[in-house]
Structures are given as structure tokens and as C-alpha cells.
């Protein structure tokens, strides 16, 4: 085992778990689309080395409204995230990174 010392500024986890038809899961509420939008945004914004976006299995908050999204190191957990709310996540990430860069000089 080898410890990795490099860490991203932000790590966004997006549940894209699939269940059979009729059962609540993030894939039925656009989890994959949300993951894809955030991943593509990080890449197109030149942030992919600082902001990692990872799709996950079930995070334990399955529902029929929206996906579960987690942001580290902030330890922010959101459930029922709708695709039209992804901009709020992007805004939070950008604001947070700008503050971190401003504080570091």
C-alpha cells in the first residue's frame, strides 16, 4: 500500500446508482446527467486537476426527486439535487476555490 499525498481542492461525489424500474435511485432522477455536467464543467473550466468529480454507487439517500451529491473536504451532503440546481454547486465550488486562492496569497 502506498499513501497518495496529492489531494484535489474539491472532490465532488455524485451518486449514479441504478436500481430496477420502479425503485427509487439516483439514475432515475438524472444522477448520471448531473455527474456528466459537473465533470465536463470541471474539464472545460480548466479545473480538472483541482476539482475531481467521481460517480458513486448508492450513498444511502435514495429518493424519487433528485440525486445525492457530496462535496469534500467541506463535508457537504445534498440529497434531491435536480439537474437545474447544478449551477448552485458550480457557484459554490468556484466561490470556495477563489476564497482559498485569495487566502493563500
Residues that bind ligand FES (CB under 6 A): 15, 17, 25-26, 58-62, 68
Q: At closest approach, how far in Å is the CB of 73 from ligand FES? A: 21
Q: Name which of 72, 75, 64 is nearest 31 in CA terms.
A: 64
Closer CB to ligand FES, residue 59 or residue 94? 59
Q: At closest approach, how far in Å is the CB of 20 from ligand FES? A: 12
Q: At closest approach, how far in Å is the CB of 3 from ligand FES? A: 29
Buried b (16+ CB within 10 A) or exposed e, 27-66: bbbbbbebbebbbebbeeeebeebbbbebbeebebbeeeb
Closer CB to ligand FES, residue 47 or residue 62? 62
Amino acid at each position: 500500500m502506498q499513501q497518495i499525498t496529492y489531494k484535489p481542492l474539491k472532490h465532488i461525489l455524485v451518486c449514479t446508482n441504478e436500481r430496477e424500474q420502479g425503485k427509487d435511485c439516483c439514475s432515475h432522477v438524472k444522477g448520471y446527467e448531473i455527474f456528466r455536467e459537473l465533470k465536463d464543467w470541471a474539464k472545460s473550466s480548466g479545473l480538472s486537476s483541482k476539482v475531481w468529480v467521481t460517480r458513486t454507487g448508492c450513498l444511502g439517500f435514495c429518493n424519487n426527486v433528485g440525486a445525492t451529491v457530496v462535496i469534500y473536504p467541506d463535508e457537504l451532503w445534498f440529497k434531491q439535487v435536480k439537474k437545474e440546481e447544478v449551477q448552485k454547486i458550480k457557484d459554490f465550488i468556484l466561490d470556495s476555490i477563489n476564497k482559498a486562492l485569495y487566502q493563500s496569497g
